[in-house]
Amino acid sequence: MKISILVPLVFGIFTKISATPLVYGANVCDGAVTIATTWIGGAKNVEMKTVFCPNLYQRRDVLEQRQTNATNVCGALCATTCFTPAGGGPDPNDCHVIADAILEDSQSIGALFEIGTGTNNTVVMKFNSCETFFLNQALGPLIYCRTDWAALVNDIAPNCQATQNAHGGLCVADDQSWFVQVNHV
């Protein structure tokens, strides 16, 4: 299933080594460094972190022209893939709590958010057994729709379970500039 999403990017001094998404299971990445943490949702029970994955980036040897404005990817298509084999997927009800918190933020602070590159290229949300994250793999900042992210969480969680021989999954943008992952913590 393809769903469109909008993601914002921020300028950074790093570049990704690979353009394809890397899957790390319950951990976002090896050596993840938390940049900021907050709690969202009506009950403030969904943890939201901005993290840096140092093993995905290397310093640029050559300066290149950077975008000065974030690219709006709201509504962009992505392709969903479930992780096989079966076993240990997140509880879809826990994932739904995250989706509701994202939608609540959409109504209270705005439908769009910007996500940078380099040290702030990943936003992680967690509630009980469910973790979801958005990773910006583009060279510049992206603008993303909270409503699209919530829809992806609500789609991937119940459709990438043991009954589908899966344990979570992800949706990768058609141009591979970003992806959203949902997995068990």
Domain that holds residue 108: 14-62+69-184
What number of CA atoms fall less than 13 Å from residue 104's CA on the CB side? Answer: 14
Query: Which two three-digit tokens encode residue 126?
Result: 């967690």
* 65 φ, ψ (degrees, to nearest 5): -65, 130
> pTM, whole model, 2 decimals?
0.79
Query: Has residue 49 been placed in a domain?
Result: yes
**Coil, helix or strand for 57?**
strand
Query: How far apart are alpha carbons 22 and 28 in whole angstroms?
Result: 9
Instruction: Name the β-bridge partners of 47.
Output: 39, 126
User: Which string of DSSP letters, residue by residue, matches 151-173?
Assistant: HHHHHHHHHSSGGGT-S-EEEEE
Query: Has residue 82 been placed in a domain?
Result: yes
> What is the predicted pLDDT for the residue at 128?
96
Query: How far apart are alpha carbons 38 and 47 in whole angstroms?
Result: 6
Query: Has residue 75 been placed in a domain?
Result: yes
Query: Has residue 1 been placed in a domain?
Result: no
Query: Has residue 103 been placed in a domain?
Result: yes
Number of domains in the chain: 1
Please give the chain's pLDDT, 185 residues, in tens: 333 333 332 323 222 323 333 333 345 777 888 999 999 999 999 999 998 877 654 433 323 344 458 999 999 999 999 999 988 889 999 999 999 999 999 999 999 999 988 777 899 999 999 999 999 999 899 999 999 999 999 999 999 998 889 999 999 999 999 999 999 98
Query: Has residue 6 been placed in a domain?
Result: no
Query: Has residue 3 been placed in a domain?
Result: no
End-to-end CA distance of the chain: 24
